[in-house]
Chain A
Amino acid sequence: MTGEPGTAAAAGTQAGAARDAGVLEIGGLEVWFRDGQGEVLAVGGISLSLGENEVLAVVGESGCGKTVTGLSVLGLEPPGARVSGSVRLRGEELRTASPRRLRALRGREIAMVFQEPMTSLNPAFTVGYQVAEVLRQHEHLRGRAARDRVTELLGLVGLPAPEQRLRQYPHQLSGGMRQRVMIAMGIACGPAVLIADEPTTALDPTIQAQILDLLGRLRARLSMSMLLITHNLGVVAEIADRVLVMYAGHKVEEATAARLFAAPQHPYTVGLLNAVPQPGASRDTRPLTAIGGQVPVLRQAAESCVFAARCPLATDECRKEQPPLRQVRPGHLVACVRPGELRRELAGEAVRS
């Protein structure tokens, strides 16, 4: 079992137990894909706990498995994927649930908003029809009642003139508006959990801010928990309560947002933060540091630290096994044998101790 052997598992679950069982509990989720040459490990034993009314951001670069994790919660992993582990929604195990039960939960208790609003809406049906479909499926609303509710939802997500939007087709709307429609579809039945996969990536920066703002307000208003999947740390800073950093399918760090930004422990997290320009730091003239190398493709369970190949602090100890998650502070987990040694480069500060 990769990622959390032995004592670290106890530490992990201790932290989880301290928060009490969350709305969404993922335990040891593992996903293997098949390609032309065998199997590839996309997610290597992820565990997380999402509490009531909490926003948990899952962060990592493209290809780290965060989207697959989100899809697996809903059972929407691509065909041909081998998934194991546990996914529990309010205690109910989803991975062994019947397809019928899953369908009843999707869109109703757990909803997902996808990355590409352009292609995620069916071009052949009106916006109103597509939002109404969720209501019709789960709450059996039809006709006038459905229309009214859809209009209300479209207004809630900030679309101007919602009554007119009902009859419009996706291609008649801008990217930002389409994303709002997707969100409307997601919150329509008041789900307990909203999984947002890169909800702002495909949008202009100005629109990004608006959408994030919307998500924040909706979370407060609807008491919804959110699993926010993103590679954009700016988004994380805006809206996340806690952050989980993923690399090559493994969890490498987990902490509250404030802690993560203030004192990142894992070299990868430090690298990520270093690569983000600091707005407002007018005296910050240091060059952006990119993390050299590429995400490894794992064809078997990790036998060394997954980040070792790109880590400036890597030692022989690192190459012996994937480090287990250790708690360095209450609520702050790191999978590293040398946590905290690579300090984040703030303007003018020391690099390494």
Chain B
Amino acid sequence: MLWTVARRLVIALVTLVLASLVVFAAVHALPGGPATALSTENDNPAVIAATAHRYGFDQPLPVQYVRWLGQVAHGQLGTSPITDLPVSTQLVQRIPITAELTVLSLLLAVVVGVPAGVAAATRPGRPRDYLSGAAALGGLSIPHFWFGIILILVFAVHLHVLPSGGFVPLSQGVGPNLLHMLLPVIVLGTGLAAVIMRQTRADMLDVLGTDYVRTARAKGLPEWRIIWVHALRNSLITVVTVIGLQLGALIAGIVTVEEVFGIPGIGQLTLDSVSQRDYPTLQGVVLLTAATYIIANLLVDLAYTVINPRMRTWQGAT
């Protein structure tokens, strides 16, 4: 088992390196050349030269890459020409905000999606199955940024019940913080909940037809125990897998939700840096996102590996 873990770690590392190569190549494709793009003041030749020297852009390519990688790995991501703040500072400031948004949304998605999937699976063909199925389909098809806009229209503009955006740090009160997070979390969590619900339902249907569930019934166990202990345990792995598969969509979701609701997180920073041509910040954000994505995938993979050996037989258990 340790061997598999080590293997996955190595693969993730390799992917990280390869990804950095891609970013490196992209940096070289930026308008004006890498040195100009990454400079704090891109019309000051002295500054440009200094940047070039620091990253090694005046050296042969392989050396460039190593030096650039070194800088990047040490968090020396340069300074934003727009805000004059070090890129790393900006990133560190915003990470907790995006993290809170993500975690709350994942929580909502699981808390809503799994029970809905179970409810649908235990009464297939009945009204509540069709209802949840329709809701899931809706959740999948609605572009979440539109959903966000609609929610803002209804709750903020018309009913004045919730704020239309912005962020209140926890230090200024848990209540206001959560109030501002409510709509964004609903928007982000809904799409994921829909996918989770569908997958949970499908898995539960499979599991409920297995021999070991029949054995559990023959033992006289109450239905709730059969569903929530025996059946769900085997479906849990699904949730993990689904989240893993949805990570890409989640990233897009985070960016759009932060944009729609004006939340000062990493997503918003990404968009701003594109439109403002703030290349140092953009480089930092892209690297951070790619690295996070790879690590997240790795974690999901590891979780799968850990749960899986015990599940080896379940694939033939129907």
Contact = CB atoms under 8 A, between A and B. Distances in A.
Q: Check whether chain A touches chain B (CB < 8 angstroms).
A: yes
B313 A105 contact: no
Contacts of A138: 220
B220 A123 contact: no
Given A114-B211, A124-B234, A119 B317 contact: yes
B75 to A, nearest CB: 43
Nearest to A170: B313
A104 interface: yes
9 contacts: A105-B220, A106-B218, A106-B219, A111-B218, A114-B211, A118-B316, A122-B216, A123-B311, A171-B312
Contacts of A124: 230, 233-234, 310-311, 314
Contacts of B221: 103, 107, 133, 137
B314 A76 contact: no
A119 B310 contact: no
Contacts of A74: 218
B217 A106 contact: yes
Contacts of B24: none
A240 interface: no
B172 interface: no
Interface string A93-112: 00000000011111110011
Contact of A119 (B211, B220, B234): B211
A123 B219 contact: no
A106 B222 CA distance: 11
B212 A120 contact: yes
Contacts of B311: 123-124
A248 interface: no
A134 interface: yes
A171 B311 CA distance: 9
A: contact size bracket: 20 to 34
Given A124-B310, A170-B313, A119 B318 contact: yes
A106 B220 contact: yes
Interface string A19-31: 0000000000000
Contacts of B160: none
A182 B310 contact: no
Contacts of B312: 123, 171
Contacts of B313: 118-119, 123, 170-171
Given A134-B220, A137-B221, A138-B220, A120 B215 contact: yes
Given A123-B317, A171-B312, A116 B211 contact: yes
A137 B220 contact: yes
B218 A169 contact: no
B214 interface: yes
B310 A103 contact: no
Interface string B198-211: 00000000000011
B218 A123 contact: no
Contacts of B219: 106-107, 111, 133-134, 137, 185
A119 B216 contact: no
Contacts of A171: 310, 312-313
A121 interface: yes
Given A106-B218, A137-B221, 6 more contacts: A103-B222, A120-B211, A122-B215, A122-B230, A123-B212, A123-B313
Contacts of B215: 114, 120-122, 182, 185
Contacts of B218: 74, 76, 106-107, 111-112, 114
B236 to A, nearest CB: 9
Contact of A114 (B214, B222, B314): B214
Interface in A324-341: none
Interface in B217-239: 217-222, 230, 233-234
A119 B213 CA distance: 10
A329 B218 CA distance: 37
Interface in A119-169: 119-125, 133-134, 137-138, 169
